[in-house]
């Protein structure tokens, strides 16, 4: 019954959010676009990294692929097809990367994913310089903030629904087992590689779509603009703040952090980077499991907290 | 996750959405009353941090601050009725991100309801905000955006103005200067050319290749180097091993500084030495002292223009650093254009846009009249001569200095 109620409430919230921009000015819509974008990014990131505890910094690699696909194809293909192409490219890259690297664990995976973003950026640059002979690309699509917001909102709903479904499925159980102990999971008969690969590809495809949907807002893209590593870091810290293992965790991390960053950059533009850094450190030190887990921990002090060492690895 | 937890999590998130909605509605009440105005609100979002902070910090931000200081020191912006209103500045950081730049402009236009918005630094960021500026009816006087597609952009966004020309302008002017020097016997017809694998370098080199070939030059060395390059000794040695008299580098400031230093180390001093962005920066002169003599680059000034000299003195005095020799004076002049347009037609944005497009303005860079919303009267090639970076091309422009080639050797 609770699930039904939750679904009805979620649908109502979604409807409310869908009509919200009709009452807001351009800046309000801009805020919603940015916020929804990060909710999707953080949720998609947590879809893979939450249960498996593989910390990925490749977010911007896929985000950038999406944006670039739109830039390259927006004048030759109808928009829905462009989005499909972006999905296909993101998925293909994720499968190739996943197949070759999901054997890496811990810090090696983190470093690899960080390098992946840079690798793709350099590849795009190399291609543009040597093959097409131009670097900046233009996206002239007739979208305003509100259109982009609606697309992102739909994607957010789909992402959360998918996360919810995966959590309840055998795949989700398998992934949690992998996160707890990969060797044990393998011995329990879980096809570890397949499970990880599927989730990585799914998460990467959603991230690719976010980049593709948001790109028309910038009109002009070049590798330095779309492969901005800050996006990876922000996504990570938002998901960690909310709690990467919870369904609503990433969203709950993304919304307050996004609004905080917005408030900071409007009021303290000169100290933004310093405050951001302090925040990163604070979250990792004080909320390694995220806000949701912390609140639950406070509410149920009698229940023992889970063993420390496992929790640490999730936030490393 | 149990269903209770799920529901609790969900309820919590609903309240978070509610809080966000409250936050939004609270923020939308920040509108200002238009009557009884006591100031003119001018906003801008420039890269105060991130990858673009270097360029914005040299060319854009100091000139915005200098102009505001100058105007307010004089009692404010003069309006058609003879009254004056001081400028109130709203400054944001776009953190070198397009998304932030777009949102900052949305905030300026609809939240802060500023009267005018000054453009950000860089081609990409000017393009990112162009649709918004046009839709909200703000004139966009883009300075630090070098683009060959300006005519197309003007058609798309009629309230946009493009003041720094396109890559092809700079390259073809350089080819013309070189052809003249070759015909005078100062250099041979071979060129060693390198360019950075990034937007600006590519634009310039793509235009330079055909322009140089057409002018009868032979490209004996043509290399593209990645943005992250810091060691140019191999490139410089290879260029030196050729018989070319001309070395042309379409580079960004870090490369420009490195190339200049390393060319002195390997003692490579070709008769024509052209470097990209950064050679007109004051720090370039400080680092290389009298060795800058004869080095060519983009931009330049007319050393005999008293208005420009006064501007440079004022820049030094207020900002504490000299102005750069390329886009700085154009940035300041663009603000003077805005100031004079407001003086003539008031604060109505549409009228100001119209005036900017059709009026004639007296600025630190001389008399400016835009053609099809673009400034075409620019120094395409400049050269360090006697401690000043002077404009040498177009050669027929008033105040042009004659290029001095061959360049003297390093000291």
Indicate the domain borders of chain A. 2-228
Q: How many CB pairs under 8 A join A and B?
A: 164
Determine the pLDDT at residue B241.
Answer: 94
Token pair of B81, please?
């009725």
Picking from B5, B7, B26, B27 by the largest number of A CB atoms within 10 A of its own CB, the best residue to mutate is B27
* pLDDT (tens digit per residue) in A89-109: 999 999 999 888 877 777 888
User: How many angstroms separate the CA atoms of B58 and B33, rounded?
Assistant: 35
Nearest to A219 among B9, B96, B131 (CB): B131
Q: Is A118 in the B-facing interface, judged by CB distances under 8 Å?
A: no
Residue B403 belongs to some domain of the structure: no
Q: For residue B374, what are the CA distances in angstroms to B143, B165, B222, B331?
A: 10, 8, 32, 14
| A229-233, B22-26, B42-46 — most confident range | B42-46
Same domain, B270 and B362: no
Determine the pLDDT at residue B35.
Answer: 52
Token pair of B358, please?
């059709």
User: How many angstroms separate the CA atoms of A197 and A96, rounded?
Assistant: 10
Q: What is the mean pLDDT of residues A34-39?
A: 94
Determine the pLDDT at residue B28.
Answer: 43
Test B10 with A17 for CB contact under 8 angstroms.
Answer: no
Determine the pLDDT at residue A301.
Answer: 60
CB atoms within 10 A of CB B21: 17
pLDDT band at B243 (very low <50, low <70, confident <90, very high): very high
Q: What is the mean pLDDT of residues B183-206?
A: 90
Residue B21 belongs to some domain of the structure: no
Determine the pLDDT at residue A159.
Answer: 95
Same domain, B154 and B263: no
Determine the pLDDT at residue B4.
Answer: 47
Same domain, B69 and B123: yes
- In DSSP terms, B374 is beta-bridged to B162, B371
Nearest to A24 among B4, B24, B103 (CB): B24
What's chain A's length in residues? 316
Residue A304 has pLDDT above 80, yes or no: no
B21 to chain A: which residues are within 8 Å by CB?
A: 20
Q: Is A268 in the B-facing interface, judged by CB distances under 8 Å?
A: no
Residue A123 has pLDDT above 80, yes or no: yes
Residue B16 belongs to some domain of the structure: no
Nearest CA-CA partner of B304 in B406, B386, B408 = B386
Q: What is the mean pLDDT of residues A245-254?
A: 88
Note whether B271 and B405 are within 8 A (CB). yes
A20 to chain B: which residues are within 8 Å by CB?
A: 21
Nearest CA-CA partner of B326 in B47, B58, B112 = B58
Same domain, B293 and B152: no
Note whether B356 and B348 are within 8 A (CB). no
User: How many angstroms separate the CA atoms of B166 and B130, rounded?
Assistant: 17
**Any long-range contacts for B54-59 (C-beta under 8 Å, 24+ apart)?**
B54/B253, B55/B121, B55/B122, B55/B144, B55/B253, B55/B277, B56/B120, B56/B121, B56/B122, B56/B144, B58/B281, B58/B324, B58/B328, B59/B121, B59/B143, B59/B144, B59/B324, B59/B326, B59/B327, B59/B328, B59/B331
Q: What is the DSSP letter of A131?
A: I
Please calculate the CA angle B230-B234-B240 and round it to the nearest 5 degrees. 120
Which residues fall within 8 angstroms of residue A107, CB to CB, at 6 or more apart? A316
Q: What is the mean pLDDT of residues B362-389?
A: 94
Residue B253 belongs to some domain of the structure: yes
Please provide the DSSP assignment of B47-69 as one string.
Answer: -SSSTTHHHIIIIIHHHHHHHHH
Determine the pLDDT at residue A313.
Answer: 44
Please calculate the CA angle A229-A234-A236 and round it to the nearest 5 degrees. 100
Going A61 to A64 to A69 to A72, the CA torsion angle's sign is negative
Write the burial class of residue B81 (CB in 10 Å: 0-12 exposed, 13-18 middle, 19+ buried). exposed
Three-state SS for A64-115 is: HHHHHHHHHHCCCCCHHHHHHHHHHHHHHHHHHHHHHHCCCCHHHHHHHHHH
Residue B136 has pLDDT above 80, yes or no: yes
B202 to chain A: which residues are within 8 Å by CB?
A: 128-129, 133-135
Nearest CA-CA partner of A53 in A179, A166, A174, A167 = A179
Determine the pLDDT at residue A296.
Answer: 79
State the Rg of chain B over Cα.
Answer: 24
Same domain, B336 and B271: no
Q: What is the mean pLDDT of residues B327-343?
A: 96
Classify strands B218-225 and B190-196 as parallel, antiparallel or unpaired.
parallel
Nearest to A135 among B97, B107, B202 (CB): B202
CB atoms within 10 A of CB B49: 21
Q: Is A3 in the B-facing interface, judged by CB distances under 8 Å?
A: yes
- In DSSP terms, B223 is beta-bridged to B194
- Mapping DSSP to helix (H, G, I), strand (E, B) and coil, where does residue B77 land? strand
Q: Is A282 in the B-facing interface, judged by CB distances under 8 Å?
A: no
Same domain, B211 and B283: yes
Residue range(s) defining the domain that contains residue B314? 40-165+305-369
A136 to chain B: which residues are within 8 Å by CB?
A: 123-124, 199
Token pair of A156, please?
């957010």
B31 to chain A: which residues are within 8 Å by CB?
A: none
Q: What is the mean pLDDT of residues A146-162?
A: 95
pLDDT band at A1 (very low <50, low <70, confident <90, very high): low
Ranking A295-309, B250-264, B272-286, B292-306 by mean pLDDT, the lowest is: A295-309
Note whether B43 and B91 are within 8 A (CB). yes
Q: Does residue A271 or residue B209 have the better pLDDT?
A: B209
Q: Does residue B98 or residue B8 have the better pLDDT?
A: B98
Ranking A160-164, B13-17, B60-64, B296-300 by mean pLDDT, the lowest is: B13-17
Same domain, B295 and B333: no
B197 to chain A: which residues are within 8 Å by CB?
A: 125-126, 129, 135
Same domain, B174 and B291: yes
- In DSSP terms, B41 is beta-bridged to B88
Residue A311 has pLDDT above 70, yes or no: no
Average pLDDT, chain B: 89
Note whether B256 and B249 are within 8 A (CB). yes
pLDDT band at A186 (very low <50, low <70, confident <90, very high): confident
b/e per residue A253-289 (b: at least 16 CB within 10 A):
bbbbbbbebbebbbeebeebeeebeebbeebeeebbb
The share of chain A scoring above pLDDT 90, in percent, equals 37
- Which residues 170-199 in chain A show a CB within 8 A of chain B? none
User: How many angstroms separate the CA atoms of A46 and A34, rounded?
Assistant: 18
Same domain, B105 and B160: yes
User: How many angstroms separate the CA atoms of A289 and A241, rounded?
Assistant: 8
User: How many angstroms separate the CA atoms of B143 and A47, rounded?
Assistant: 44
Same domain, B239 and B387: yes
Ranking A17-26, A52-61, B33-42, B80-89 by mean pLDDT, the lowest is: B33-42
Please tell me the total count of domains within chain B: 2
Same domain, B48 and B74: yes
ipTM of the complex: 0.77
CATH number for position B86: 3.40.50.2300
Note whether A214 and A33 are within 8 A (CB). yes
What is the rounded (10 degree) CA torsion for B204, A224, A33, A141? Answer: 30
Ranking A135-144, A210-219, B244-253 by mean pLDDT, the lowest is: A135-144
Same domain, B129 and B204: no
Note whether B264 and B410 are within 8 A (CB). yes
Token pair of A195, please?
């499970």
Q: What is the mean pLDDT of residues A160-176?
A: 89
Q: Is A224 in the B-facing interface, judged by CB distances under 8 Å?
A: yes
Q: What is the mean pLDDT of residues A269-279?
A: 78
Q: What is the mean pLDDT of residues A64-77?
A: 92
b/e per residue A171-205 (b: at least 16 CB within 10 A):
bbbbbbbbbeebeebeeeebebeebbbbbbbbbbb
Ranking A192-201, A271-280, B160-169, B289-298 by mean pLDDT, the lowest is: A271-280
Ranking A149-158, A205-214, B31-40 by mean pLDDT, the lowest is: B31-40
Q: What is the mean pLDDT of residues B112-141?
A: 92
Ranking A181-185, A268-272, A305-309 by mean pLDDT, the lowest is: A305-309
Residue B216 has pLDDT above 50, yes or no: yes
Note whether B190 and B246 are within 8 A (CB). yes
Nearest to B110 among A17, A27, A32 (CB): A27
Nearest CA-CA partner of A293 in B251, B12, B79 = B12
Which residues fall within 8 angstroms of residue B181, CB to CB, at 6 or more apart? B187, B272, B403, B405
Note whether B167 and B187 are within 8 A (CB). no
Token pair of A8, please?
């009805």
User: How many angstroms separate the CA atoms of B75 and B268, rounded?
Assistant: 53
Which residues fall within 8 angstroms of residue A262, CB to CB, at 6 or more apart? A31, A34, B103
Q: What is the mean pLDDT of residues A69-93?
A: 93
Q: What is the mean pLDDT of residues A195-215?
A: 94
């Amino acid at each position: 019954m609770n699930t039904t109620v939750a679904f009805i409430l979620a649908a109502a919230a979604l409807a409310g959010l869908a009509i919200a921009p009709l009452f807001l000015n351009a800046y309000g819509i801009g805020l919603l676009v940015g916020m929804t974008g990060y909710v999707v990014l953080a949720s998609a990131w947590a879809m893979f990294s939450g249960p498996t505890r593989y910390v990925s910094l490749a977010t911007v690699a896929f985000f950038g692929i999406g944006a670039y696909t739109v830039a390259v194809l927006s004048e030759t293909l109808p928009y829905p097809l462009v989005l499909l192409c972006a999905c296909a490219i993101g998925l293909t890259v994720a499968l190739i990367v996943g197949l070759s690297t999901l054997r890496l664990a811990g810090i090696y995976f983190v470093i690899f994913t960080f390098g992946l973003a840079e690798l793709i950026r350099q590849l795009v640059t190399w291609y543009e310089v040597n093959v097409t002979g131009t670097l900046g690309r233009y996206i002239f699509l007739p979208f305003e903030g509100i259109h982009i917001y609606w697309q992102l909102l739909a994607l957010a709903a789909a992402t959360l629904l998918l996360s919810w479904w995966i959590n309840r499925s055998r795949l989700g159980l398998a992934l949690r087992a992998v996160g707890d102990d990969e060797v044990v999971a393998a011995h329990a008969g879980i096809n570890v590689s397949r499970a990880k690969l599927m989730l990585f590809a799914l998460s990467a495809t959603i991230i690719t779509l976010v980049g593709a949907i948001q790109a028309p807002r910038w009109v002009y893209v070049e590798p330095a603009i779309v492969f901005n590593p800050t996006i990876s870091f922000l996504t990570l810290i938002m998901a960690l703040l909310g709690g990467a293992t919870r369904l609503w965790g990433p969203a709950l991390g993304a919304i307050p952090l996004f609004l905080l960053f917005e408030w900071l950059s409007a009021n303290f533009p000169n100290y933004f980077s310093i405050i951001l850094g302090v925040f990163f450190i604070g979250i990792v030190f004080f909320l390694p499991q995220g806000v949701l887990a912390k609140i639950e921990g406070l509410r149920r002090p009698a229940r023992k907290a889970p063993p420390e060492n496992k929790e640490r690895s999730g936030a490393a | 996750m149990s269903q209770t937890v799920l529901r609790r999590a969900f309820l919590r998130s609903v309240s978070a959405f509610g809080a966000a909605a409250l936050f939004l509605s609270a923020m939308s009440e920040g509108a200002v009353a238009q009557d009884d105005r006591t100031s003119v609100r001018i906003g801008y979002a420039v890269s105060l941090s991130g990858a673009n902070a270097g360029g914005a910090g040299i060319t854009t931000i100091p000139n915005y601050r200098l102009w505001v200081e100058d105007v307010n020191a004089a009692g404010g912006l003069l309006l058609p009725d003879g009254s004056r209103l001081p400028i109130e500045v709203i400054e944001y950081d776009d953190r070198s991100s397009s998304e932030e730049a777009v949102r900052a402009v949305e905030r300026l236009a609809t939240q802060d309801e500023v009267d005018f918005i000054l453009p950000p630094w860089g081609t990409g960021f000017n393009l990112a905000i162009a649709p918004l500026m046009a839709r909200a009816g703000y004139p966009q006087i883009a300075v630090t955006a070098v683009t060959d597609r300006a005519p197309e952009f003007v058609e798309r966004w009629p309230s946009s103005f493009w003041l720094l020309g396109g890559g092809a302008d700079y390259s073809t002017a350089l080819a013309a200067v070189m052809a003249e020097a070759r015909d005078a016997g100062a250099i041979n017809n071979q060129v060693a050319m390198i360019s950075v694998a990034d937007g600006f370098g590519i634009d310039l080199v793509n235009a330079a290749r055909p322009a140089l070939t057409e002018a009868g030059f032979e490209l004996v060395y043509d290399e593209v180097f990645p943005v992250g390059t810091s060691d140019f000794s191999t490139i410089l040695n290879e260029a030196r091993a050729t018989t070319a008299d001309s070395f042309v580098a379409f580079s960004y400031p870090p490369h420009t500084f490195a190339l200049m230093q390393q060319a002195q180390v390997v003692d490579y001093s070709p008769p024509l030495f052209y470097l990209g962005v950064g050679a007109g920066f004051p720090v370039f002169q400080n680092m290389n002292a009298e060795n800058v003599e004869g080095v060519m680059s983009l931009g330049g000034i007319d050393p005999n223009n008293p208005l420009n000299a006064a501007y440079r003195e004022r820049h030094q005095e207020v900002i504490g650093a000299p102005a750069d020799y390329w886009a700085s004076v154009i940035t300041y002049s663009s603000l003077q254009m805005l100031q004079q347009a407001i003086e003539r037609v008031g604060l109505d944005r549409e009228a100001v846009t119209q005036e900017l497009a059709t009026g004639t303005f007296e600025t630190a860079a001389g008399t400016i009249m835009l053609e099809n919303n673009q400034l075409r009267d620019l120094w395409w090639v400049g050269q360090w001569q006697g401690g000043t970076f002077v404009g040498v091309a177009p050669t027929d422009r008033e105040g042009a200095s004659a290029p001095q080639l061959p360049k003297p050797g390093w000291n």
